[in-house]
A and B are shown apart, each in its own frame.
Chain A
Amino acid sequence: MKQRLKYKKKNKGPEDLEITSLLDIIVILLVFLIQNMSYSGAVFKTIKEIKLPVSRSEGSKLEGITLQVSAKQIWAEEELVFDSQGASTLEESFKNKDFIAPLQEWLIKANNLKAEVEGLLDQTKEAPAINIVVDKNLPYALTKKILATCAQSGLYKYNLVVDYKASRN
Chain B
Amino acid sequence: MTVQSSEYQRPSRNKKVSKATALNLIPILDGIFILIFFLLITSNFSGTFQVESSAPVISSTPPEEEEKSLNLELHLGKERIQIFTAETTRSLRKEIAVSLSSTSKEHLISLHEALVSLKKDFPKDKTAILFPEANLSTQELIAYIDEIRHLNPTDEAIFYKEKGLDQKATFLFPNLVFGNLQ
| Complex partner residue of A36 from B45, B48, B136, B152, CB under 8 angstroms | B45
B181 to A: closest C-beta gap in Å: 4
CB pair B133 A140 closer than 8 Å: yes
Chain A residues with CB under 8 A of B141: 53, 140, 143
Interface residues on A, range: 35 or more
| Complex partner residue of A141 from B45, B49, B52, B135, CB under 8 angstroms | B135
Query: How many A-B contacts at CB < 8 Å in the complex?
Result: 168
| Residue from A30, A59, A62, A160 with most neighbouring chain B CB atoms (10 Å) | A160
Is A6's CB within 8 Å of the partner chain B? no
Binary contact track B131-147/A, C-beta < 8 Å → 1, others 0 = 01111111101110110
B159 to A: closest C-beta gap in Å: 23
* In the complex with contacts A59-B50, A160-B142, A38-B43 CB distance below 8 A: yes
A34 to B: closest C-beta gap in Å: 7
Q: A162 vs B141: C-alpha distance in the bound complex, in angstroms?
A: 12
Is A15's CB within 8 Å of the partner chain B? no
Chain B residues with CB under 8 A of A151: 55, 181
B29 to A: closest C-beta gap in Å: 7
* In the complex with contacts A16-B22, A160-B142, A30-B36 CB distance below 8 A: yes
CB pair A54 B54 closer than 8 Å: no
Q: A40 vs B44: C-alpha distance in the bound complex, in angstroms?
A: 10
Which residue of chain B has its CB nearest to the CB of A139?
A: B135
Tell me what chain B mostly uses at the interface: helix, strand, loop, or mixed: mixed
CB pair B135 A169 closer than 8 Å: no
Binary contact track A14-41/B, C-beta < 8 Å → 1, others 0 = 0010010001001101100110111011
Chain A residues with CB under 8 A of B136: 139-140
CB pair B49 A30 closer than 8 Å: no
Which residue of chain A has its CB nearest to the CB of B28?
A: A23
Binary contact track B30-58/A, C-beta < 8 Å → 1, others 0 = 00110110011011111111111111010
B81 to A: closest C-beta gap in Å: 14
| Residues of B participating in the A interface, judged by any CB pair closer than 8 Å | 22, 25, 29, 32-33, 35-36, 39-40, 42-55, 57, 105, 108, 132-139, 141-143, 145-146, 149-150, 152, 178, 180-182
22 pairs, CB–CB < 8 Å, chain A vs chain B = A16-B22, A27-B32, A33-B39, A53-B141, A55-B145, A59-B52, A98-B182, A131-B50, A136-B137, A140-B132, A140-B141, A143-B141, A144-B132, A144-B178, A159-B53, A160-B142, A161-B49, A164-B47, A164-B49, A168-B146, A169-B142, A169-B146
